Every structure is written in structure tokens, then in C-alpha cells.
Amino acid sequence: ASYLQDLSSDGDSTPAAAAMAGSAHLLGFSDEILLHILSHVPSTDLVVNVRHTCRKLAELCLDKSLTHTVLLEKDYEAREDQVKQLLKEMGREIQQLNMAGCYWLSGSTIEHVARCRSLVKVNLSGCHLTSLRLSKMLSALQHLRSLAIDVSPGFDAGQLSSECKATLSRVRELRQTLFTPSYGVVPCCTSLEKLLLYFEILDRTREGAILSGQLFVGQSNVPHYQNLRVFYARLAPGYINQEVVRLYLAVLSDRTPENLHAFLISVPGSFAESGATRNLLDSMARNVVLDALQLPKSWLNGSALLQHMKFSNPFYFSFSRCTLSGSHLIQHILNGGKDLRSLAGLNLSGCAHCLSPDSLLRRAEDDIDSGILETLVAACCNLRHLNLSAAHHHSSEGPGRHLCQLLARLCHLRSLSLPVCSVADSAPRADRKPAQPAMHAVPCGFGKKVRIGVQACPSPFSGQAGPQPSSVFWSLLKSLPFLERLELIGSNFSSAMPRNEPAIRNSLPPCSRAQSVGDAEVAAIGQLAFLRHLTLAQLPSILTGSGLVSIGLQCQQLQSLSLANLGMMGKVVYMSALSDMLKHCKRLKDLRLEQPYFSANAQFFQALSQCSALQRLCLVSRSGTLQPEAVLAFMTRCLHVVVCHMFTGESLATCKSLQQTLLRR
């Protein structure tokens, strides 16, 4: 936008100057090219800056291709006055508006959304909204069909006007995040087809009072589910979230919608089955044909439910943490290995027995049944998302029987999560020599002369004992060149600060087969040119971290990186390699490091400062240290950082002093 502002306006440029500029001038491009360029400019910048450069750009900025959908989601540089001006000048043209996560905008600014009278879809999750403001805003949005809001303490459905309720009666898709026990606006949405619920209710108030899961007076109207096609609920930890979701499910159990196609409930830990939920599941088994299913593990373990469920062209299954055997998977989920080309996502995380014929007799160290996996791969050949983490999946020796060799056939995969032990070439033997440590990767290699006039393009495995083409993991990644998300997590890994699970202090040691997965295998990830999200956790054989440098050099699309418990637990051996890697991660937005005894020193923060797009940093290090001066220098350089969480062994006084200094800046 700053470059566009430098352009002369139409009235200020002389004919001679225009002739000199010719086709080299930016405005000499066609409207189609200019619209494509403008589509990458933030909407607030288009209105505040670009529109005022010249007449041509002023007209293009109001083109329907730019005003139809406006994305302000987590646009941290959008100021109050800019958003107000945007909604004032573009409001009548906007049909889809996403303001999710704009927590810094005041309620009075959010009210300006009422100007967008043609809105069909609006996302206001994370925005400050009271019942009265919501009522006033929705009363003006008669064409609204999709809504996303938060329901916070103090919400009162009785304050919603009749005009607001009329708008809600036409809403077909609702995403509602609950921070207090409430039905929210669900009872008003009589035409709902898609309901997404996020339960984030705390068990106690800030004052320490214990909350009740019973819905408050005036909020107990019965929701309308008769047209529902999709029901999704995700619960944060806490008993009160489970109590409230039961009230939502109780209505479903009375009369299950005939058109229900997707039923998904994500619950951390255990969630006991009740009479109402049993009635609901029995009704679904009799009357509903599903396309997507996810249930709490306690509802499936030991149950014959899956034998009676009917599926038609399913696109997503999740059986996380269930005691699902391989024979059960093939017979009741895959219909004996029949064609399931429609299935796009399969979550078998924590299903320790899903690749063995009998769940009762299998031990963790036993090999998988490659025949079961081969049947799975053949039946679900169009899978795009597969999760096999949190279990021991050991492959037996033999040609074509390794898990990586079979998964290589899933050429449409875009996200893959595997346990570390599953990518080991074979079982470790006493007579097998340990793998040679990988040398530190350098761009040109030491002692190698460079020919003049020939481009010295570094090999991702140059200067190191890298993975050979015979490595099954190397071959797997070579066959999945368009993979965007990869997770390689130790079977016994448990985070010190998990999001949706209780913290476990005494974690189990790594699997013995994970000992043969080290720097060379990590370097193989460098083949994934389109990789955006990477997680590496509990890899004990990381010696130097040289593979990280290969990833930094070649995975230029990387936006999210999570590293946890690499190498020996008592020593951080990959600091130098990590610093070299970060220098190349120009698009990295999220970084999470979980490593005991990690020293967040000046070297680390200086390298991290070169990640110019970084927005979120989380450092979890038991007995770790940090240098406050280095943190301050880092925050001064990286102006886009909005979240900085550091949990180390530093004193409380040091942390508070650093926090206050950052807040004053």
C-alpha cells in the first residue's frame, strides 16, 4: 500500500510522463492483474490508503471480488478507526465478514457491523458482545444465514428483540462458544442445519465460587433440532462442560433429527455414558445414516454400537483412544474392505490395537498385522488426513510389509501423524551397529571446492550421513510431496502443559525402536517443499539436530513449528542447529519449544529475531533459564508478536519484572 501511495494520481501525471512510464507503470497492468494484487492487501489498508492514491484504484478497491468477503480475523494491525471506516465505506457490499479473534476492538466498533445489511455470513468469535449489542446488530441483518459468537457470563436471551429473533430464526449455521452455562441463541435458531458448540466453561469463577451446570433461569428454552444435519461439540477439561453438553444432548435423545449426517463429540479424558446418551445412540443406530462420526472413548469401548451404525459415503471417522481391534475396524468400519473412496479423514490416535487382529492378546512391543493396514490403505485410497499417533506400531521385517511402504500408496495425503517408532527401518538387533551421527549441515560443505560459474546448490543431505533412498521413511516422504502437516511424536510422549489432558509428571521412557530414529530421518523431512506445520516430539537419538537445518533451508512454507524433548533429556544438544534453522524460517508464525534445561539466551533470541513473521512464541522448560535483556531485544525487533508464553525455572520476581517492562513498552 505504501508503494501504491507513491504513485501519481491520474490528474497529476502529464501525458509525456505517462508515455514514458508506458507498460512499466504498475497501473499499466490489466484490471484482472491489479485485482489479484489488491486481493493480497488487507481490507483496512485498501480503504484507508490505497483508495486515495488515484481514481482507477479507488474504483478497483470497491470491486465485488474484494468487497464480497472481508477477512479481519486476528488482523492485529487493524485499529478501531480503520475498522469503522471500512464498515462505513464497504458495508453495503460485504456479504461475508470474519472478525474472529479481534478482542481489542470495543463493543461500539463491533456495533458498526449493523451497516453491512447484505451480510450472509459473519464470525464474531472472540469479540466483545453484550446481549443488547447483539440484539441491535442482528435486527438489521435480515439476510444472515451463518453466525459465530461467544456466550459470556451475563448473557440474557430475554434481552433479544423480536427483530433479532426473526433474524436468528433464519440462521442455518451457528458456531457458539460457551463461557457460561447457557443455551445461548440456539433456541431462537429454528432453522438450524449445522450446530458447532465449543464449551470453555470454568469450574470456578474468578472469585473462587463453584459454578453449577444447571442452566440459568430464562435460558432453559428447548433448542430446535428438527432440521439439524451436523452436530459438533468440543469440550475443554472440567466436569461442568460435561454437565452442560448433556443438557444439549438430552433434547436430541427425545427426537433424533432424520437428516442428521454428522455427529461429532470431542471430549478430553473420560465422559461417562448416561441414559439419555444411550437412548440417543440407539435412536441414531435405528434411524440415521451418517457421513461422519466421533464419540468419546467410553461410549465405544466394550459396546456393540458400531455393529449397528449405518454409514453412507463417510468422509470422516474418529476413534481416538478406543480399544478398537483391527478385525473390528475392517468388519464394521471398512465393511470388510469395501470401497471407501469418500473417506477423507481417519483419526486412530491412541488406538493401540487397531492394526492387530485381536486387542486382548497384543502387547505394545508386538508387530502390527501388515495385512490389516494393507486392507485399510486399499479401501481408503483417497485419505487426506490420517492420525496413527500415541500408539506402538512396529513393522515386521520383510519386503513391502513396513508401515511406511504401505502408507506411501496414499498419494492424496495432506496431513499425517505417526509415532516415532513406526518409521524405524526394522527392529534393533544386538549385532547391528549404531547409526553414525549426522554431521552438521552447512550450505556448501567444508573442504569442497566450488567451481566458478556453476551454481552451488546445497543438497539437503550434503555433509551428513543422511538418509539413503533405501530408508523407508525417506521413501514415504518422497511419495507424499504435497504433505502440508506432519507430526512425528513418541508413543510415550506426554506434554508438561497439555491443552486438553491432565498433566503427567512421571512420563514413560521412549520406545526402544525410537532409538534408531535420529538426525538423518529428521533431515528427510526437508523433501516436503509444501510443509506448513511440523511437530517433532520425543526423539531421543537426536545428536546434533543437523536435520533441522535441512528443514529450515528447504521447507520455506513452514508456518508452525513445535519441538519437544529432542535428544537426551538432561542436555540440549541441538541449540546451534536450531539457531541456524530459524534464520531461514521467514514465514514462521508459531513456535512452541518444550525442552527441560533449555537456555533461552541471546544466541537463541537473536536467531529467532530473524523470523520476521513470528506472532506466537511458547517456551516450556523445566529447570530452564532465560535472559530478560535478550527477550526485550527480541520483542523490540519482532513487532508482530502478540503472544509470548515462557514457563521456565526463573524466579517469580524475574518474570514479573520482565512482564511489567514489556507492558510498559
Residue written as grid cell 549404531: 434
Q: Phi and psi at residue 121, in whole multiples of 5°?
A: -140, 130
Q: What is the pLDDT of residue 222?
A: 62
Distance CA 59, CA 54 (A): 9
Higher pLDDT, 522 or 20: 522
Q: What is the pLDDT of residue 124?
A: 96
Q: What is the pLDDT of residue 469?
A: 56
Q: Phi and psi at residue 582, in whole multiples of 5°?
A: -60, -25
Write the Ramachandran bin of 263: left for phi over 0, alpha for psi from -120 to 50, otherwise beta: beta
> Which residues, including other chains, have CB under 8 Å from residue 466's CB and lie 6 or more apart?
438, 460, 520, 523, 524, 550
Residue 476 banded pLDDT, cuts 50, 70, 90: very high
Percent of the chain with pLDDT over 90: 55
- Using DSSP's 3-state secondary structure scheme, residue 338 falls into coil
Q: What is the pLDDT of residue 542?
A: 93
Residue written as grid cell 504513485: 7
Size of the chain in residues: 665
Higher pLDDT, 207 or 432: 207
H or E, element range at 241: helix 239-254
Residue 42 banded pLDDT, cuts 50, 70, 90: confident
H or E, element range at 379: helix 370-379
Cell numbers found for residue 4: 501504491
pLDDT at 472 over 90: yes
Distance CA 32, CA 282 (A): 55
Cell numbers found for residue 466: 543422511
- Using DSSP's 3-state secondary structure scheme, residue 135 falls into helix
Lowest mean pLDDT of 217-226, 525-534, 562-571, 626-635, name the range: 217-226
**Inter-residue contact 211 to 202 (CB < 8 Å):** yes
| pLDDT tens digits, one per residue of 378-431 | 999 999 999 999 999 999 877 778 999 999 999 999 999 999 999 998 655 444
DSSP state string for 197-214: EEE---SB-TT-PBP-SS
Task: List, in sequence order, every residue forming a beta bridge with 367; answer none if it has no partner.
Answer: 394
What is the DSSP secondary structure assignment for residue 413, as one 8-state letter? -
How remote is the C-alpha of 646 from its chain's centroid? Answer: 21
CA triplet 553, 554, 560: central angle to 5 degrees?
A: 90
| pLDDT tens digits, one per residue of 508-527 | 889 999 999 999 999 999 99
H or E, element range at 194: strand 194-199
Cell numbers found for residue 40: 493480497
Distance CA 371, CA 368 (A): 9
What is the DSSP secondary structure assignment for residue 599, as one 8-state letter? E
Q: What is the pLDDT of residue 169?
A: 95
> Which residues, including other chains, have CB under 8 Å from residue 292's CB and lie 6 or more apart?
230, 261, 262, 263, 264, 314, 315, 316, 317
> Which residues, including other chains, have CB under 8 Å from residue 304's CB and lie 6 or more apart?
none
Higher pLDDT, 437 or 335: 335
Q: What is the pLDDT of residue 324?
A: 83
Between the CA of residue 291 and those of 184, 294, 332, 385, 537, what are the distances in Å? 27, 11, 14, 16, 33
Distance CA 279, CA 178 (A): 25
Cell numbers found for residue 658: 520482565
- The amino acid at 176: Q
CA triplet 606, 611, 617: central angle to 5 degrees?
A: 85
Neighbours of 59 (CB within 10 A): 11
Cell numbers found for residue 391: 500408539
Q: What is the pLDDT of residue 439?
A: 38
Average the pLDDT over 639-649 and give the result.
90
Distance CA 599, CA 651 (A): 15
| pLDDT tens digits, one per residue of 167-213 | 999 999 999 999 999 999 999 999 999 999 999 998 877 667 776 66
Q: What is the pLDDT of residue 453?
A: 44
| pLDDT tens digits, one per residue of 76-129 | 888 999 999 999 989 999 999 999 999 999 999 999 999 999 999 999 999 999
What is the DSSP secondary structure assignment for residue 238, as one 8-state letter? S
Percent of the chain with pLDDT over 70: 85
Q: What is the pLDDT of residue 446?
A: 39
Average the pLDDT over 34-50 and give the result.
89
Q: What secondary structure, in 3-state letters, does 511-528 show?
A: CHHHHHCEHHHHHHHHHC
**Inter-residue contact 622 to 598 (CB < 8 Å):** no
Q: What is the pLDDT of residue 445?
A: 41
Cell numbers found for residue 641: 508478536
Neighbours of 74 (CB within 10 A): 15
Q: Which of 72, 174, 169, 86 is closest to 127 using CA atoms?
A: 72
Distance CA 538, CA 542 (A): 9
**Inter-residue contact 288 to 255 (CB < 8 Å):** no
Cell numbers found for residue 270: 473420560
Q: What is the pLDDT of residue 468?
A: 52
602 class by beta-carbon count within 10 Å (0-12 exposed, 13-18 middle, 19+ buried): middle
What is the DSSP secondary structure assignment for residue 112, as one 8-state letter? G
- Using DSSP's 3-state secondary structure scheme, residue 244 falls into helix
Task: Report CA dihedral (353, 354, 360, 366) to the nearest 10 degrees.
Answer: -40
Mean pLDDT of the chain: 85
Query: What is the widest separation between alpha-carbon atoms in the chain?
Result: 86
| pLDDT tens digits, one per residue of 128-174 | 999 999 999 999 999 999 999 999 998 999 999 999 999 999 999 99
Distance CA 106, CA 103 (A): 8
How remote is the C-alpha of 174 from its chain's centroid? Answer: 20
Strand segments (E) across 41-181: 69-71, 96-98, 121-123, 146-151, 173-178
Q: What is the pLDDT of residue 329?
A: 85
Distance CA 367, CA 45 (A): 57
**Inter-residue contact 367 to 394 (CB < 8 Å):** yes
Higher pLDDT, 447 or 177: 177
Between the CA of residue 526 and those of 112, 334, 483, what are the distances in Å? 47, 34, 11
Highest mean pLDDT among 220-229, 250-259, 428-437, 450-459: 250-259
What is the chain's alpha carbon radius of gyration, rounded to the nearest angstrom?
28
Q: What is the pLDDT of residue 421?
A: 94
How many helices, marked H, and strands, marked E, lie in the chain?
24, 21
Average the pLDDT over 299-318 and give the result.
84
